[in-house]
A and B are shown apart, each in its own frame.
Chain A
Amino acid sequence: QQPVQSPQAVILREGEDAVINCSSSKALYSVHWYRQKHGEAPVFLMILLKGGEQMRHEKISASFNEKKQQSSLYLTASQLSYSGTYFCGTGEGGGADGLTFGKGTHLIIQP
């Protein structure tokens, strides 16, 4: 069963913050976040593991609430380059399980 992402779409001004949520009905071992630009392949952002720490990459960070099976991606002081579709992919077991992806969140950053 696919994880549920919210919101489906968001439009921001450059410099504003955004939060994208991912929720699953299954017990999760890992949550992976990817960004995809139109016509391109998904690009890895970060991975959160059960029992792991909150991750951060520059102005993008993410958290994983294992009890609620929820993850959130935080984009701080958004840049034009952040535009794209964000996907969360969930893994249920240790090892490189194939991921179950949400339907994505479309993010548009305007100047």
Chain B
Amino acid sequence: DARVTQTPRHKVTEMGQEVTMRCQPILGHNTVFWYRQTMMQGLELLAYFRNRAPLDDSGMPKDRFSAEMPDATLATLKIQPSEPRDSAVYFCASGLVTAGGPDEQFFGPGTRLTVL
């Protein structure tokens, strides 16, 4: 049963600390997305990659957020330094892009981040 995995599932940290979230996409998927969900803003796209290359990171605060794909099995999202307003659930999703166009995005379970 293929699924997207994310670690950690929960993270509580203090303002100013670095936070790293990890995602393992479904094997064979070539596109990885990072979304953030809050009560106020809903689901927001932060960044996405295709074949490990960043295609769009316009949704991320550039001064503190960074996203990378060191290899095809790992995507990371880092926040440095973290702020209380970063508290949210961060979802990673993966999908397979073909010549036929967009397809289903499979969401991971999310990382619930609380910044005190």
Contacts and interface: CB of A to CB of B under 8 A. Distances in A.
Contact of B107 (A29, A30, A43, A91): A43
A103 B108 CA distance: 20
Nearest to A87: B43
Contacts of B48: 96-98
Contacts of A2: 42
Q: How large is the interface on B (under 10, 10 to 19, 20 to 34, 35 or more residues)?
A: 20 to 34
A42 B92 CA distance: 11
A111 interface: no
Interface of B: 31, 33, 35, 42-45, 47-48, 50, 56, 59, 91, 95, 97, 101-110
30 contacts: A2-B42, A29-B102, A32-B104, A42-B91, A44-B104, A44-B105, A47-B102, A47-B103, A49-B101, A49-B102, A87-B43, A91-B102, A94-B102, A95-B50, A95-B97, A95-B102, A96-B31, A96-B33, A96-B95, A96-B105, A98-B35, A98-B45, A98-B47, A98-B48, A98-B56, A99-B33, A99-B45, A99-B105, A100-B45, A101-B35
